[in-house]
Structure 1
Amino acid sequence: MATELDKVKEYLYNENSLAFLVAYISLNDSGYNVPIPSSLDLNGIKQGWEQIISQSFNLACDPDFLEELCAIWFDAIKKQGGKVTEHFSSDMINILTNKPVLTTQASISRNQPPQPKKPITPINDGEGQYVQNHTVSSVISDDYRTVQAISNSSIIPKNELLKKIASALKSHNEFEFLLYYLSFVKHGGQPEIPLELNHSSIQSKWERIIHSLYNTSCPPLFYRRLTDLWLNLIHSTGPIISQEALFKILEKLQIQATQKSGAVKNSSQKTKPSFWNNLKKIFK
């Protein structure tokens, strides 16, 4: 009798993209740990599936099959939202098979202990070596966890974001402006951003965005600092910014904001003893 893994291999060898995806994701509910593409954009998804199929099944995909596979996955993950839930696998399967997506966890036993997962058996490479799949640790990739962590962090209401943006523009604070402007991504929005890499082009784009959206203008120094900050943040992401990349940039800003807050707090704590020591000396 064919096992679940045998069915996955059969669909893959026969280049049945939809059946392969459904059977592959179903392995997670059958006790297997299966890797998935870590990216939410189409190019990253293509690279992810190409690597997974090559490492886990020792197979080079036909380009047409890979394109079809990635298009189906891209459409499904957009509908699912890329959110980490306890029933990610079942949600994806339901989307792929056009069934209703679960919205509650009533069917999941709260007291049921988690079952250990089995890795996918690596395929012999023909030389006595077995392909080591280092990504077989969880059905949820690190990038999905990053997006979900930012999504689940404190979400500022839209009207409050607008107030904070207005305040940042009034005080010419480029860091706070960018932090709150990009926070709209938490509400499912896609903030307009510069896609250029040239400093002057980026600066001009920010000027147009701010004037168009907020009907205001700031001093040239503000735009130069904003452009420097933006270039530093996108250094590792490149000119094409996906929603996933925006979440990562927002994460960097939030980390920097936390560090700045901590530095101010530590600074005040360090200066306080010195103040009181000097005061004691005066009244000795």
Structure 2
Amino acid sequence: MNAHAIAIPGYLGPADELASRIAAIGEGDIPTSWTPEHVQNRMVEAFDILARSGTRVGPRQHANGWPAMIHEFSDLVDAQARALAEKEKQQERAARPTADELSRMNEALKWPMTYLDGRPMQSDALMLWAYATALGRDMSAMLHHRKKKAMALADEIMRRHNAPPHIHEGVVMDTRDPAVVDAYLRRVEIAREVAKITNDALARASKTTHGQIKVHAQSIFRARCREEGCLPLAVKPHEAVPGRCLSRTNLDRQRRAAAGVVAAQLCRGGVPVR
């Protein structure tokens, strides 16, 4: 460290020494100003407090169904059960968040809504990472599940948008925009025209070139649709579900950016560090 550097609790080096800063904060030190690392630690703490606030101890099982041969031990067993139940109650009381912890939790959980409005990807990344870290969840499994849901939704959006119009007794009965229906009908016309040309070409060509002809036909179809503005709707998973982090690399990048934004806004607003 530079000899002229100011010693700040929780800050052991230049801004790029993230490992040192995280280690210092993790030991309980509070920096004199908001840092992205402290913001992330507070978010993890918030979800931990939230989980503890909902802790419940389920009903205990009784020994009424035990065999008669061990009923003489029932008094001892009941005493042990009562002692265990009392210990669990004490642990539950100890685990319950204090008023100060609940205050810190509420403060931190409001940050994404307050400071990340209009940044859905960053907000989502910070919240998901903090939740998974606090509860010890498998991040890869969570992201895989979210990606599958996003892909399924994207497919459903495309299917509904690009579907044939509903026609009853020759009348189009469709709630979609008329332009969507017109685009579908035009794609059908183009497909027929391209199919006719393709079939003629296939009839004259050798079987070894059939694959190339079909690929070329698809290119022609898309080019014609593009020219006439009737391409089928294509939706990517992240477009179907805005704010979803679909890879671990992207999540880590976005949650760090989110923590930086929140820290800067807290500093700018003069919010006391705690």
Bin the TM-score by the shorter chain. Answer: under 0.3
TM-score w.r.t. the length of structure 2 is 0.23
TM-score w.r.t. the length of structure 1 is 0.23
Compare the two structures and name the one with the higher helix fraction.
Answer: 2
Greater Rg over alpha carbons, structure: 2
